[in-house]
Amino acid sequence: MSERLGIVVSGSLGKGMEVKLDSSASIEDMAVGRFVTIEGAKRRFFGMISEVSLGMTDQRLALTPPDIADPFIAEVLAGTSTFGTLHVSPTLVIGGDAESLLEGPQPVKTVPSHFSVVNLASERDVELVFGSEDAKRFFIGNPLDMETKLCLDLEEFVKRSNGIFGKSGTGKTFLTRILLIGMLQKSQAVNLVFDMHNEYGWEGSSEKGTKVKGLKQLFPSRVAVFTLDEENSRHRQVKTDFAVKIGYDEIEPADISLLRQTLNLTEQATEAVYRLRQRFGKDWLSQTLETRESEETRTLLDELDIHESTFQNLRRGLATIQRLPFIEPKPPTNAVKAILEHLDRGTNVVLEFGRYRDITAYILVANMLSRRIYAQYQERMEKAMAEDTTRPTPLVITIEEAHKFLNPEVASQTIFSTIAREMRKYNVTLLVIDQRPSGIDSEVMSQMGTKITCLLDNERDIDSVLAGVSGRNELKSVLAKLAAKRQALVFGHAVPMPVAFQPREYGSAESYRGFSERGKAGTKEDIEKLWE
Amino acid sequence: MPEAERVGEVIEASTTALTAQCYELYEIPPLGSLVKTGDSSAELYAIVYNAATTSLEPGRRPIARGKDETSEEAIYRSSPQLTKLLRSEFGAVVVGHKEGDRLYHHLPPQPARIHSFVYQCSPQEVREFGKSFDFLNILLNASLPVPAEELVSAALRQMSRAHKDPRAFLVAAGKELAILLSGNLNQLKAILGRIKQ
């Protein structure tokens, strides 16, 4: 049943509608962010309350207030001489015209007529807009103050690069876990997660200190945990599938220039790397590290036009990389090949960093692996297009601390900005997790399909997340009023309109059951496949 | 339905108002009460706004008679002719009419006829008439010797008695008044002060 709130009295498409509250609706029950429907003569509109205010017919009432202590007078004046007004921004047309009936909610292009009735949106209306859980849609949480499920169309979601933002401790990790499970269950895409803090593959912990299950524990058959630090994984009793080792010859000059800041290299040193690569070929790193002080070296440097001090600076930096235990001159295994094999089988890969949580290791490994995987995808995709064969499984690469890869200075050098910009052409997209969105190149930000943001309070971060979104100012006030925990705002490609929501629970036994029950369909299929 | 109580007879009528004389001295319907006149095909509703008791002959004023009497009743007992020499009459402002089964809250096409009987409306008729508050506008805008706020509040008080939940009726009426009088807060306050319970 819909609850009548009032009638539209004025407004415009750009600024939203003014709604006069009926005397039966208490203004104190209204809340910013609630959904309403406006019953126009020909169309039904769907919108959100963005402001609540008080009005009166005669300003003299404000000067000589009536005796409200008398309940009779108070009751008579409420809703007549004194009344509440709502500001509602209609965003969608959800019925009435043929287009919205056939193709679902459409963006508004007009406003409801004068005195159209405004109702609180019913569960059915909200479901009509955000869809119910089905093969493609995944339940990610409830709109604030509502019981209805908010469902995200994950097929659409993975078609573009997406971002999850929020201050530290606002629930980004939990939200990411939920989304990863969603993608695992409801989309065709596979995930490659660069798990800097060892939170996604196996057990993580919540802020209260309780343990939270990882993906591998919930879906053992569909998730593989790769590790850079076997010892650490053993200590934590993680069942790993593969220990990643990286050979010297896999490191490219572009990786070094990306690490310029963290390795404290000079501009000249990064340029020298390219010359060394040209000279020595694939083996440049071991050759450079092997050079000793000799006449020969000096001649070489002269030949390459590299200054002595530049070379020393470079060697110091490269030595830092060399000291990383997972970097070996000739590793016995090929990590990229192993990852691709898993991804091809539809297994999601979580790469744990173990103790190597410093940003050098993370940037180096994430960039290097992604670049080579992306190159493989590009090749396969082009081949598939040329030969008209099956295309590679869509891949989503999840990276944390994204502003380190995607800041304006280095964005042009990393593979991630290419992925973010070229998007779906090669079936590879990004899921970016970050706490400083203002640090990310604006070009990359503008290409993101769906953004989910928890509380942000830095003005620049808010501006960069909301850049280019219609109704920015209204969203800004919603974003600023989010609770510090377990509340988020989602907007963009995968949702028909921006909505503040409370992510579903993750961490209790019941919540795990909820996730795996919905996964049952998938497991059943897996079993059926075994019999084929 | 019990026979409606007959209170008098029309002696003066216009489109907007009528004057009726009571059959019995002092048996005047209360201020603000709803009365009706006319036959069943075309009834006319009016609200009592004024009443007066005067001498039958306009030039002849009554004189004080109670000097030697002990009580007021004793005066009338010792001079029984008084009840015939004095008369009570009341004025009522026309607020609606009924044609067949339909009730209209606006002025009738014809005024009342002289000598037609005036009846006090039954509670059920009052409830039916009170379903719409359109008559309030007529009362507020009529130029009458009594202040409009007095008449409106008296009418509403009278009508509320016919309702099961007088307070709900008065609140609804108050809301209507708040809209009608949005530009005249003082009058609104005066009326609300007179009808609050």
The C-alpha of B89 sits at a distance from chain A's nearest C-alpha, in angstroms, of 35
Place of tokens 């081949």: A383
Are B171 and A75 inside 8 Å of each other by CB? yes
The stretches of A209-347 forming alpha helices (DSSP H) are 215-218, 230-235, 253-258, 260-263, 267-280, 284-290, 295-304, 308-323, 335-344
Place of tokens 């705002």: A489
At A216 the three-state DSSP class reads helix
One-letter-per-residue 3-state SS of chain B: CCCCCEEEEEEEECCCEEEEEECCCCCCCCCCCEEEEEECCEEEEEEEEEEEEEECCCCCCCCCCCCCCCCHHHHHHHCCCHHHHEEEEEEEEEEEEEECCEEECCCCCCCCCCCCEEEECCHHHHHHHCCCCHHHHHHHHCCCCCCHHHHHHHHHHHHHCCCCCHHHHHHHHHHHHHHHCCCCHHHHHHHHHHHCC
What is the reported pTM? Answer: 0.72
Percent of chain B whose predicted confidence (pLDDT) is above 90: 55
Closest chain A CA to residue B166? A72
User: Which chain A residues are within 8 Å of B188, Cβ to Cβ?
Assistant: 81
Closest chain B CA to residue A23? B175
Q: Do A354 and A492 fall within a single domain?
A: yes
Domain that holds residue A204: 160-244+333-523
Q: Do A11 and A59 fall within a single domain?
A: yes
Select from B175, B176, B181, B184 the residue whose CB has the most chain A CBs within 10 Å, as the one to mutate to test that interface. Answer: B175
Residue A44 β-bridge partners = A39, A95
The C-alpha of B183 sits at a distance from chain A's nearest C-alpha, in angstroms, of 7
Closest chain B CA to residue A73? B192
Q: Do A347 and A292 fall within a single domain?
A: no
Rounded average pLDDT over A409-419: 77
User: Which chain A residues are within 8 Å of B167, Cβ to Cβ?
Assistant: 72
Q: Do A189 and A256 fall within a single domain?
A: no
> pLDDT grade, residue B1 (50/70/90)?
very low
Mind listing the pLDDT tens digit for each residue in B138-196? Answer: 999 888 889 999 999 999 999 999 999 999 999 999 999 988 888 888 888 889 989 88
For B16, residues 6+ apart whose C-beta sits below 8 A from its C-beta are: B93, B94, B107, B142
Rounded average pLDDT over A5-10: 92
Q: Do A412 and A507 fall within a single domain?
A: yes
Q: Distance between CA atoms of A498 and A496, rounded to whole angstroms?
A: 7
Mind listing the pLDDT tens digit for each residue in A151-193? Answer: 888 888 888 889 999 888 888 888 888 888 888 888 778 888 8
Instruction: With a cut of 80, say whether residue A97 has pLDDT above it.
Output: no
Percent of chain B whose predicted confidence (pLDDT) is above 70: 98
Percent of chain A whose predicted confidence (pLDDT) is above 70: 94
Give the residue among A244, A180, A189 at the shortest CA–CA distance from A216: A180
Q: Dihedrals φ, ψ of B141, to 5°?
A: -95, -10
Are B171 and A60 inside 8 Å of each other by CB? no
- pLDDT at residue A519, as a whole number: 47
In a domain, A532, yes or no: no
Neighbours of A81 (CB within 10 A): 21
Range among A204-218, A467-481, B157-171 with highest mean pLDDT value: B157-171
Tokens encoding A230: 């076997």
Q: Distance between CA atoms of B173 and B195, rounded to whole angstroms?
A: 10
Q: Distance between CA atoms of A474 and A52, rounded to whole angstroms?
A: 12
Rounded average pLDDT over B49-64: 89
Are B183 and A58 inside 8 Å of each other by CB? yes
Give the residue among B7, B2, B5, B33 at the shortest CA–CA distance from B159: B33
Contact call for residues B136 and B180 (beta carbons, < 8 A) = yes
The C-alpha of A18 sits at a distance from chain B's nearest C-alpha, in angstroms, of 19
Pairing of strands A82-95, A106-107: antiparallel
Per CB distance under 8 Å, which residues of B are interface residues toward A?
Answer: 167, 170-171, 174-175, 177-179, 182-183, 185, 188-189, 192, 196-197
Mean pLDDT computed over every residue of chain A = 82
Q: Distance between CA atoms of A517 and A319, rounded to whole angstroms?
A: 50
In a domain, A340, yes or no: yes
User: Which chain B residues are within 8 Å of A73, Cβ to Cβ?
Assistant: 174, 192, 196
Q: Do A458 and A348 fall within a single domain?
A: yes
Contact call for residues A242 and A338 (beta carbons, < 8 A) = yes
Q: Do A352 and A494 fall within a single domain?
A: yes
CATH code for position A220: 3.40.50.300
In a domain, A141, yes or no: no
> pLDDT grade, residue A301 (50/70/90)?
confident
Are A76 and B175 inside 8 Å of each other by CB? yes
Contact call for residues B27 and B7 (beta carbons, < 8 A) = yes
Are A76 and B167 inside 8 Å of each other by CB? no
Q: Dihedrals φ, ψ of A153, to 5°?
A: -80, 100
Place of tokens 């919603």: A478
Sign of CA dihedral A223, A224, A225, A231: positive
Name the residue type at position A187. S
Tokens encoding A479: 């974003």
Closest chain A CA to residue B184? A58
The C-alpha of B119 sits at a distance from chain A's nearest C-alpha, in angstroms, of 33
Mean pLDDT computed over every residue of chain B = 89
Q: Do A231 and A177 fall within a single domain?
A: yes
In a domain, A153, yes or no: no
A148 vs B45, more confident:
B45
Q: Distance between CA atoms of A465 and A445, rounded to whole angstroms?
A: 8
> pLDDT grade, residue B14 (50/70/90)?
very high
- pLDDT at residue A2, as a whole number: 58
> pLDDT grade, residue A517 (50/70/90)?
low
Q: Distance between CA atoms of B154 and B135, rounded to whole angstroms?
A: 13
Place of tokens 């990286």: A246
**Residue A99, H or E segment:** helix A98-103
- pLDDT at residue A309, as a whole number: 82
Are A66 and B189 inside 8 Å of each other by CB? yes
Q: Lowest mean pLDDT: which of A349-358, A401-410, B144-153?
A: A401-410
The C-alpha of A56 sits at a distance from chain B's nearest C-alpha, in angstroms, of 10
At A350 the three-state DSSP class reads strand
User: Which chain B residues are within 8 Å of A79, Cβ to Cβ?
Assistant: 175
Instruction: With a cut of 70, say whether residue A532 has pLDDT above it.
Output: no
Of A73, A79, A80, the CB nearest to B196: A73
In a domain, A529, yes or no: no
Are A81 and B197 inside 8 Å of each other by CB? no
The burial class, CB within 10 Å (0-12 / 13-18 / 19+), for B117 is middle
In a domain, A138, yes or no: no
**Residue A100, H or E segment:** helix A98-103
Number of CB pairs, chain A paired with chain B, less than 8 A apart: 40
Are A72 and B197 inside 8 Å of each other by CB? yes
Place of tokens 């036959």: B39
Q: Do A67 and A172 fall within a single domain?
A: no
Contact call for residues A228 and A365 (beta carbons, < 8 A) = yes
Rounded average pLDDT over A28-48: 86
Q: Do A260 and A191 fall within a single domain?
A: no
Q: Do A351 and A306 fall within a single domain?
A: no
Instruction: With a cut of 80, say whether residue A271 has pLDDT above it.
Output: yes
The C-alpha of B153 sits at a distance from chain A's nearest C-alpha, in angstroms, of 14
Q: Distance between CA atoms of A133 and B56, rounded to whole angstroms?
A: 88
Q: Distance between CA atoms of A351 and A364, rounded to whole angstroms?
A: 13
Name the residue type at position A97. D
Q: Where are the beta strands (DSSP E) in A57-179?
A: 82-95, 106-107, 117-120, 137-143, 150-153, 162-165
Are A70 and B167 inside 8 Å of each other by CB? no
The C-alpha of A21 sits at a distance from chain B's nearest C-alpha, in angstroms, of 14
User: Which chain B residues are within 8 Å of A7, Cβ to Cβ?
Assistant: none
> pLDDT grade, residue A520 (50/70/90)?
very low
**Structural domains of chain A, count:** 3
In a domain, A10, yes or no: yes
Rounded average pLDDT over A485-514: 83
In a domain, A264, yes or no: yes
Contact call for residues A110 and A48 (beta carbons, < 8 A) = no
> pLDDT grade, residue A530 (50/70/90)?
low
Q: Lowest mean pLDDT: which of A110-124, A214-228, A269-283, A509-523?
A: A509-523
Mind listing the pLDDT tens digit for each residue in A101-154? Answer: 667 788 888 899 999 999 988 888 888 888 777 777 888 888 887 778 888 888
Are A72 and B196 inside 8 Å of each other by CB? yes
Q: Do A231 and A312 fall within a single domain?
A: no
For A303, residues 6+ apart whose C-beta sits below 8 A from its C-beta are: none
Q: Distance between CA atoms of A53 and A385, rounded to whole angstroms?
A: 57
